[in-house]
Amino acid sequence: MTAEGVSPTVPEVRLRDLRATTSPVELVGRVVSCDRREVSRKSDGSRRPLVSGLLSDGTATVRFTWWDPPREGIERGVILRAVGAEVREFRGRPEVTFSWRTRVAPAGPADLPRVDADEIPFRTVRDLAAPDEGFRIEVRIVRVAPRTVTVGEERRVVYDGLIADRSGVIGLSSWSDFGLLPGEAVRIVGGYVRRFRGLLQLVLDERSTVARIDGADLPDPAEFLRGPPRTIASIEDEGGGGAITLEGIVVGLLPPSGLVYRCPTCARTIKNGLCRIHGQVEGRADLRSRLVLDDGTGAVTVNAGREDTERLWGLTLEEARRRLRDQPDPSLLEESILETLLGRRLRVRGAGTKDDFGVTVAPESIETVEVDLATAAAELGARFSEGR
Ligand SMILES: [Zn+2]
């Protein structure tokens, strides 16, 4: 990997200005993502290594393919200068290829083009798709809170939240502390978009910049957190969402609900003292209820945690454990939760994700909606007689 003897005749281009061309170009970019694999040669079936991924210089992000790459030194975050890269077009977007004719060398942040904030493409939340990078966005912080995660051996704090503009709302996950506060209006440059557990998320790290702005035309966070409930059918159609509000009647409880035991390391529920990842562990007792809510247009599963379960059920974890000592049958606890909650109308706010089983909601708040019991019972009866 050397950039010595750079020919002055090769033009250095910004990725934003890349066009498919017959003559090779020079470019500098940061590896956003990369993936190493091998393909079989058609001629003799031998294996040929390649690295492909995304490259960004702050003006745009393009796909790159590097044939016969070095064994080491290509990873996310590395800045490369490529002299003699070929540019092609695939589905209307330029892509670059590094071949044996391309000289690729490590470069530094100073080699990246200077980009004024105004030059960086402006995006709205609705425009974002994974794995976008190289854009600026102006949003309101709807909510944000620190969360401690374990990455390998290391404990790190990640700031999770939700951001919004007039066009929509998207999850936020920041690996750097920008001192973000709910309600603030900010301009973000240098984030990237990924899909996490089925939902889009804007990820910030030490390379991102955050500036406070006036934000007069950004929505009030309350609009998102206190919005009126939507029908479950419309939430299903949209595949969930980062901030949804729905209302429905409890029509069932899914296992595992009630008293569960969790792995002390990863918090997964364990079975017979065995964690799927960590093997034999000393389980930690917890309460949960996986509520099935129906609003007449569809049904969702709401994964209520300990606090919500205790409040809705009226029994604490300790009381549940005491009951279990008297009557060692955990299914009685489940039955008791279902009996208490069946037919109750709940208003749920949170993040919804969709998979083959439908929409599952990780609730931020669950409130009981007071309704006339006779009406609710009649509604519920009608639902069951419809064969739901
Ligand atoms: Zn575990």
Q: What separation in Å is there between the alpha carbon of 151 and the centre of ligand 1?
A: 14
* pLDDT tens digit sequence for 143-184: 898 988 877 777 889 999 889 898 888 889 998 899 999 899
Token pair in block for residue 76: 């996310």
Is residue 334 scored above 90 in pLDDT? Answer: yes
- Read off the amino acid at residue 149: V
The whole-angstrom distance between residue 234's C-alpha and the CA centroid of its chain comes to: 21
Lowest average pLDDT, out of 19-33, 294-308, 346-360, 362-376, goes to: 362-376
At 388, the pLDDT band (50, 70, 90 cuts) reads very low
Q: What separation in Å is there between the alpha carbon of 277 and the centre of ligand 1?
A: 5
Tell me the C-alpha distance between 340 and 289, whole Å: 12
Q: What separation in Å is there between the alpha carbon of 89 and the centre of ligand 1?
A: 46
Q: What separation in Å is there between the alpha carbon of 125 and the centre of ligand 1?
A: 35
What percentage of the chain exceeds 90 in pLDDT?
46
pLDDT score, position 194? 87
pLDDT score, position 381? 65
Q: What separation in Å is there between the alpha carbon of 196 and the centre of ligand 1?
A: 20
Is residue 6 scored above 50 in pLDDT? Answer: no
* pLDDT tens digit sequence for 209-238: 899 999 888 988 777 666 788 999 999 988
Q: Is the pTM of this model over 0.85?
A: no
The closest alpha carbon to 269, from 285, 254, 292, belongs to 285
What percentage of the chain exceeds 70 in pLDDT?
91
Q: What separation in Å is there between the alpha carbon of 37 and the centre of ligand 1?
A: 31
Average pLDDT over residues 257-262: 93
Q: What separation in Å is there between the alpha carbon of 273 and the centre of ligand 1?
A: 10
Q: What separation in Å is there between the alpha carbon of 20 and the centre of ligand 1?
A: 49
Is residue 313 scored above 90 in pLDDT? Answer: yes
Q: What separation in Å is there between the alpha carbon of 270 and the centre of ligand 1?
A: 8
Q: What separation in Å is there between the alpha carbon of 261 and the centre of ligand 1?
A: 11
Query: Which letter does DSSP use for residue 12 in this model?
Result: B
Average pLDDT over residues 280-289: 94
At 114, the pLDDT band (50, 70, 90 cuts) reads confident
Q: What separation in Å is there between the alpha carbon of 2 and the centre of ligand 1?
A: 46
Residues in the chain: 388
Q: What separation in Å is there between the alpha carbon of 26 and the centre of ligand 1?
A: 48
The whole-angstrom distance between residue 341's C-alpha and the CA centroid of its chain comes to: 31
Average pLDDT over residues 99-113: 90
At 376, the pLDDT band (50, 70, 90 cuts) reads low
pLDDT score, position 154? 79
* pLDDT tens digit sequence for 51-98: 999 898 877 788 999 999 999 889 888 999 999 999 998 877 889 999
The closest alpha carbon to 158, from 142, 179, 177, belongs to 177
pLDDT score, position 7? 45
Tell me the C-alpha distance between 51 and 67, whole Å: 7
Q: What separation in Å is there between the alpha carbon of 162 and the centre of ligand 1?
A: 28
Q: What separation in Å is there between the alpha carbon of 300 and the centre of ligand 1?
A: 27
Cα dihedral 378/380/384/385 (nearest 10): 20
- Read off the amino acid at residue 191: G
Token look-up 């990842």 returns: 277
3-state secondary structure of 32: strand
Token pair in block for residue 312: 């809705």
Residue 49, CA distances (Å) to 37, 40, 63, 146, 375 in order = 6, 9, 17, 41, 67
pLDDT score, position 385? 59
pLDDT score, position 384? 58
Tell me the C-alpha distance between 109 and 114, whole Å: 10
- Read off the amino acid at residue 33: S
Q: What separation in Å is there between the alpha carbon of 58 and the centre of ligand 1?
A: 39
pLDDT score, position 11? 65
Q: What separation in Å is there between the alpha carbon of 301 and the centre of ligand 1?
A: 23
pLDDT score, position 265? 87
Tell me the C-alpha distance between 31 and 64, whole Å: 9
Q: What separation in Å is there between the alpha carbon of 285 and the centre of ligand 1?
A: 14
Q: What separation in Å is there between the alpha carbon of 74 and the centre of ligand 1?
A: 32
Cα within 13 Å of Cα(368), Cβ side: 16
pLDDT score, position 380? 59
Is residue 375 scored above 90 in pLDDT? Answer: no
How would DSSP label each residue in 153-170?
TEEEEEEEEEEEETTEEE
Q: How many CB atoms lie within 10 A of CB 225?
A: 17
Is residue 4 scored above 60 in pLDDT? Answer: no
Average pLDDT over residues 128-132: 84
Q: What separation in Å is there between the alpha carbon of 73 and the centre of ligand 1?
A: 33
At 360, the pLDDT band (50, 70, 90 cuts) reads very high
Tell me the C-alpha distance between 55 and 156, whole Å: 27
Q: What separation in Å is there between the alpha carbon of 262 and the centre of ligand 1?
A: 8
Is residue 100 scored above 70 in pLDDT? Answer: yes
